[in-house]
């Protein structure tokens, strides 16, 4: 099986502008997350579903399926996934694509795009593109759905806000934005002390999602037809679904 090709700065059907810095790896990724995503050894270590599931305390399958359920049993139209993820989310999403559907997966790191390509068979409906989620080379209102799975907690405040603004910009009116990420857990949650340490030393931006609701990072005045939030595992995780 030939894996899908990676279009590094190559034209997406929706591509209308390529900012000069579009494929520059952000400093926070190199400085904070080199051990998780940038180093090739990181990919070899973390690309194991059982390990991702362990990191999410056994909730990986449930959260992946909750995200996919929002996109539908059969996913039609144009879908944008912002950032690659370890595990089987994208292969599962690909299997749900309707025959005339289209999926673009954007990530800033070629090593992550190559890893994702190796997990899936060639599929002309799927495009893997090197691009920055906070500065997308895509036309306004060009996607029916945008999916963000555990991306926002890894981004500094300003980048997170830009990523959300970009998601809003590229989704069509009536289109859906599905976000799955961390949330402030209940006070009594037994994992609070452990995660406080993990966030302090390894994931310095993640605590933002404990301090504030995700919708507070959306552009001021953004209008939605509906906003639905569901929390999981005593509040530690959330799914936020926005209809533009
Ligand atoms: C989606 S997040 C975390 C996923 C989750 N921890 C997992 O793998 O199960 C990780 C990905 O986000 C990508 N990423 C981080 N900042 C980005 C940005 N500004 N633009 C595009 N991709 C970005 C990283 O390169 C990495 O592949």
Domains of the chain: 6-243 (3.40.50.150)
Give yes or no for a contact between 47 and 86, defined as CB atoms under 8 angstroms apart: yes
pLDDT band for position 36 (50/70/90)? very high
Q: Which atom of ligand 1 is nearest to the CA of 60?
A: 9
Over residues 11-33, the mean pLDDT reads 63
Pocket test for ligand 1, best of 83, 90, 134, 170 (most atoms within 8 A of CB): 83
Cα of 37 from ligand 1 centre, angstroms: 7
Cα of 107 from ligand 1 centre, angstroms: 7
Over residues 106-119, the mean pLDDT reads 96
Q: Which two tokens stand for residue 14?
A: 């929706």
pLDDT band for position 7 (50/70/90)? low
Give yes or no for a contact between 149 and 81, defined as CB atoms under 8 angstroms apart: yes
Calpha distance 137→149 (Å, rounded): 20
Q: Which atom of ligand 1 is nearest to the CA of 38?
A: 25
Provide the pairing of β-strand 6-8 with 78-82.
Answer: unpaired
Give yes or no for a contact between 183 and 238, defined as CB atoms under 8 angstroms apart: yes
End-to-end CA distance of the chain: 38
Mean of per-residue pLDDT scores for the chain? 92
Give me the sign of the Cα torsion angle 161, 128, 108, 132.
negative
Q: Is 60 in the pocket of ligand 1 (CB under 6 A)?
A: no
User: Cβ contacts of residue 148 below 8 Å, gap of 6+?
Assistant: 82, 83, 133, 163, 167, 177, 178, 179, 180, 181
pLDDT band for position 12 (50/70/90)? very low
Calpha distance 47→133 (Å, rounded): 22
User: What's residue 49's pLDDT?
Assistant: 95
Is the pLDDT at 229 greater than 70? The verdict is: yes
User: Cβ contacts of residue 201 below 8 Å, gap of 6+?
Assistant: none
User: What's residue 52's pLDDT?
Assistant: 97
Cα of 88 from ligand 1 centre, angstroms: 15
Cα of 69 from ligand 1 centre, angstroms: 21
Over residues 180-199, the mean pLDDT reads 97
User: What's residue 3's pLDDT?
Assistant: 54
């Amino acid at each position: 099986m030939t894996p899908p090709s990676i279009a590094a700065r190559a034209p997406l059907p929706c591509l209308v502008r390529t900012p000069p810095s579009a494929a520059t790896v952000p400093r926070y990724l190199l400085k904070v997350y080199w051990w998780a995503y940038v180093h090739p050894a990181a990919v070899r270590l973390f690309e194991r579903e059982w390990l991702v599931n362990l990191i999410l305390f056994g909730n990986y399958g449930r959260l992946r399926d909750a995200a996919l359920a929002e996109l539908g049993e059969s996913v039609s139209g144009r879908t944008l996934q912002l950032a690659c993820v370890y595990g089987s989310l994208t292969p599962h999403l690909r299997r749900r694509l309707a025959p005339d559907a289209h999926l673009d997966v954007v990530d800033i790191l070629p090593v992550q795009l190559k890893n994702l390509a190796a997990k899936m068979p060639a599929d002309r409906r799927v495009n893997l593109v090197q691009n920055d989620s906070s500065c997308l080379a895509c036309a306004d209102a060009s996607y029916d759905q945008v999916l963000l799975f555990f991306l926002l907690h890894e981004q500094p405040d300003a980048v997170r806000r830009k990523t959300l603004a970009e998601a809003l910009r590229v989704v069509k009116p009536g289109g859906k934005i599905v976000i799955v990420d961390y949330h402030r857990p209940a006070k009594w949650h037994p994992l609070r002390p452990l995660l406080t340490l993990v966030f302090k030393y390894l994931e310095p931006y993640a605590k933002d999602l404990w301090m504030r609701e995700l919708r507070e990072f959306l552009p001021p005045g953004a209008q939605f037809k509906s906003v639905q939030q569901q929390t999981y595992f005593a509040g530690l995780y959330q799914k936020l679904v926005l209809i533009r």
